[in-house]
Amino acid sequence: MNHTTTPSAPSPKKATSAADLYSFDLAANCTLVKLSASQFSGRKKDEALAADVARDNNGDTDAYETFLKVLPDETRKAIQQIVTEARTYYKLHTTPWDTGWALVNNTIYEKLRSDLEEFGIKFMEAVQTEVLDKRDQLADLSDARLGKRAYLYPFPELEALRGEYEFNVKTMPIPNPKDLRLKHVSPDVAKQIEAETTQLLNDKLKGAMTTVVSRIRSVVERVFDTLNDGDKIFRDSMIQNVKDLCAVIPELNLTNDRFISQVADEIMTTLGNVDCKKVREDPEERKAVAVKAGSLLDRLKNVKLADNL
C-alpha cells in the first residue's frame, strides 16, 4: 500500500472574501476525522524503590523516579511502530481542526478511511500475535525480570490485557449554518446562531489554512537549517519530506489559495530534484541549495492569505 502518493484533489470553489469564505461549502467538501490508538504501557511507577535509590545515593526522594517494566521493549515497540506509521500518514493528509479532530478533503476521505482501517487491522494482528497469544510466556518473563518486586505489578489477565489495546477512526460531519434545524427558538435567535456558526467556521478554516503554510515553512526551514550547519548530515529524507508534503498540497489547499499553490510549485521545482548525495559531497552545491532554500523561506515569512480570504 502506497501511503505517500495520492491523486491530486480537485479544488473546491474558491472563496473571494472573508465574509463569504464559507461560500465554497465547507460542510459538503470536508469531513472531520479523529484517529485514536492506545496500548498497554507495561510500566508502573515504584515510589518505594525510588525512595530506596534516593536514600542509597544520599539524594532527595522527589529527584528520583523508578519504573517497573513488565513488557519487553521489543514487544511494545513492534506495536508502537504501527501506531506511529498510522499517525504520520493521518497527519500528512489532514489539517488540525479542534481537540484531536482533523479536517480532511472529501476527495480523499474514502481512501484515508480505508488506509487507516488497514493500519487498524495490522495493529490488532500485531497485538494478537505479539501479546495476547503469548500472554502466559510474557507473564512468566515479567516475573523473572522483576524478581522480588514482581508481586507489585502482576501481569494482567487475558481479558484485561485485551482491553488495553484500541485503534479507532471516528468521523463527524461539519455543520452547515444554512441548514440548522433548530426547535424552540425564535427566527431572530436562529439567525444569530447561524451568523455565529458561520463566523466560527470561517475562523477555524482560516486557522487551518494558516497551518498549511506553517507546515510548508517547517519542511523548508529544516532543509535550510541543516544545510547551514556543517556538522549536520543532509539526509535523503529531508527532500523526501518536502516531496511528500508538496504532493498533498492540492488536497490540503481547501480554499484554492493562489499563494499556497504557487509556493508549493516553487518548492518542488527548487528542492524536489536536489541531488542529496552531491549536496553531501560538494560544499559549493550545499551552499547553493542553502541559498535557494533561504529564498523560499523569505517568501514564506509574514505570509498573509488575504488574496483569497
Q: Are residues 169 and 188 in the same domain?
A: no
- Mean pLDDT, residues 119-129: 97
Is residue 12 in a domain? no
Q: Are residues 106 and 230 in the same domain?
A: no
pTM above 0.85, yes or no: no
pLDDT at 17 over 80: no
CA distance 196 to 66: 50
pLDDT at 252 over 50: yes
Q: Are residues 85 and 200 in the same domain?
A: no
CA distance 117 to 103: 17
> What does the pLDDT look like over 70-89, one tens digit per residue?
999 999 999 999 999 999 99
CA distance 192 to 288: 56
Q: Are residues 39 and 141 in the same domain?
A: yes
pLDDT at 196 over 70: yes
Domain count, the chain: 2
Q: What is the pLDDT of residue 113?
A: 97
SS (H, E, C) 135-159: HHHHHHHHHHHHHHHHHHCCCCCHH
> What does the pLDDT look like over 173-187, one tens digit per residue?
998 888 888 888 888
Q: What is the pLDDT of residue 13?
A: 41
pLDDT at 11 over 80: no
- Mean pLDDT, residues 79-100: 95
Q: What is the pLDDT of residue 304?
A: 63
Domain end, chosen from 159, 174, 189, is at 174
Q: Are residues 135 and 265 in the same domain?
A: no
Q: Are residues 121 and 194 in the same domain?
A: no
Q: Are residues 87 and 190 in the same domain?
A: no
Cβ count within 10 A of residue 188: 8
At 305, is the pLDDT very low, low, confident or very high (cuts 50, 70, 90)?
Answer: low
At 294, is the pLDDT very low, low, confident or very high (cuts 50, 70, 90)?
Answer: very high
Q: Are residues 88 and 183 in the same domain?
A: no
Q: Are residues 169 and 269 in the same domain?
A: no
Domain end, chosen from 133, 154, 174, is at 174
CA distance 53 to 104: 50
CA–CA distances in Å: residue 90 to residues 12, 102, 114, 165, 187: 21, 9, 12, 19, 40
* Helix orientation angle between 258-271 and 187-227, rounded to the nearest 10 degrees: 20
The range of the structural domain enclosing residue 217 comes to 176-309
Q: What is the pLDDT of residue 8?
A: 44
Q: Are residues 241 and 114 in the same domain?
A: no
Q: Are residues 186 and 111 in the same domain?
A: no
Cβ count within 10 A of residue 107: 18
Q: Are residues 52 and 103 in the same domain?
A: yes
